Chain A
Amino acid sequence: MQARIKFSSKRFLLALMLCACSIILLQNDDLAADTSFTFQLLGILGGLSVCFVLFLPSLFIKIRTDGDVLQLAERCTPRAKLPLAAVYSCCFVYTALYFLLPYTEMFHTKYFPEASPCLITVVLLACCVYAACKGVNVISRFGVFLFAFALLTNILMFGGSVSEVDWGHCTFALRGDAGEFLQNTVYFVTPAFIIPIFACLSGCVSNFRLRQPVFALVFTGIKYAAVIFFICFALGDYSRRQGFQTFLLSRVAHFSTFAGIESFYLALSTMAVFMILSLLLCCITKSVGRSGELRPIILFTGIILALDVAATYLDPVREVLTNPLLFVVLTVIPAAVIPMIWYFIGRKSNAPKN
């Protein structure tokens, strides 16, 4: 019953913001190595500006119709339901794997080298199936608790790293070239994965305001900037020696003899990936027109699991599934291209006929 109730758009955007903020926890040498902090800030600015532009079509749909792109498509072009469902579910499956694979790798390399990555995926996906069955409203409620926990973890992580910041070498010079700027920008476009989720699920939220996604993107940018600052000036060159720089930051953070903040990092990244995957499963079931049903959720979870296993053992599959450019393309299509098409179709069909 709760699944059918429209809930606060603020909370939905908070959940999306958490997802967007949390993916930097899985950053693994994705940024150009020799660029300065200020140059990376420009990358953040560029990336998030692109995100905002990509956001616009779904925002227009929400503002004009108070629904989402799927509802609009169903109303305007009922025949397009099947191809639309296919495109969206394909993109969401790819996005799920794009985050799942680095997470399992981080977990496997940093915490439990003995445990099989596939089993980590199985257990994680089983929990996500349960959450996806409960619906997006319940997941966004979970986001409130995750937000509180993320706040605590970030305070501990940044507060504990302050003592290690090398203030003497804090420089704000611009260092980097166009290619590196492009590489950084592509990385900072990653939070755009929340836009297809918004495009799919925004129909079930009420009291939407334009400032909400703007705030979400600005806050995401601030969070990224803070992480990059500490990676640059607290970890310095050390961060380039190992992957998963945010993990290293949590490792270095300490308050006198109190250390072990990486346990908070583990918990936060696990819960964030759990929420992202659950939301994506919700989107998949919504796009195939069977929200909250167990059968499609299990079917697509099975597909994700199969691809994850393939990527674990076959490097070419892994390369395809973790390709940032492909990810950007598969995000732009459901985030901007499809909503834009249906936005114009919708306007045309609503236009007064002479």
Chain B
Amino acid sequence: MSTPILPIERSSPVERRPPVESVLFENVELSFENKNVLDGISFRLARGETKAIFGVAGSGKSTILKLALGLLKPDAGRIVVLGQDVNAMSEDQLFELRRRVGIVFQESALFDSLTVRENVAYRLLEEGDIPEAEIEKRVREALSFVELEHTVDLYPSELSGGMRRRVAIARTIITEPEVLLYDSPTGGLDPVTSNTIIELIVKQRDVYKTSSLLVTHRLQDAFTLGTHYFDRAANQMKPLPPNSRTEVPMGFLILRDGHIIFDGELNELRETQDAYIREYIS
């Protein structure tokens, strides 16, 4: 079996350059109604890397994504996304940054009074200066990526949960963002549909080399991301061959009580001796 082509192939340590980060959190703190949600959170997301964020309910996982996009402001700390200090930017300035950062919300957050076409084309329509034919072409491409071209004239209420999630992904990728934020993209879905969503995420990672933060409760989704790649020739997700020299750029972050208790790679997670983490991943 030939070695698969992956986004990053590690060469010798001498030639390795430190990756430029897409997202940087430094000592970020945030409280809601006198309750500390995030307390001194620091981590980096390298270019082209996917980082899965785990934690119990209410541990601040979704909050991290909203902070990265400037939808929330931290009480303290620094957040840099694609080289720009998010805290120092006004809402108008953030609009331009958000063109390069996409987010898939937990419940899809599709606009229920608009059709699938209008949802997916939303940002392009708002810009106002893109020809209709170009918009139609890009909508078709985005829906083709998630294999939902046939739903273009339907409303979100006429779609299943999995289909809404896929339309949300199409809406997010239509502007070809450099960073993607996924908030529980497989939450509440059956295993088959979840696998379809994860395959799309792997495809987006490996074909378009986007950096991603993935909030999830499902360990198997993150492990799948860390052990699979997207085969363009076969147009499907495949497991990495055992003993392969190449690695998928995948990291894991675990939150507990507002702190990061683990920030590392898959093999480090498997070998950790921390009792809480071992119980969490068991």
Does B associate with A? no
Interface residues of A (CB under 8 A from B): none
Residues of B within 8 A of A (CB): none
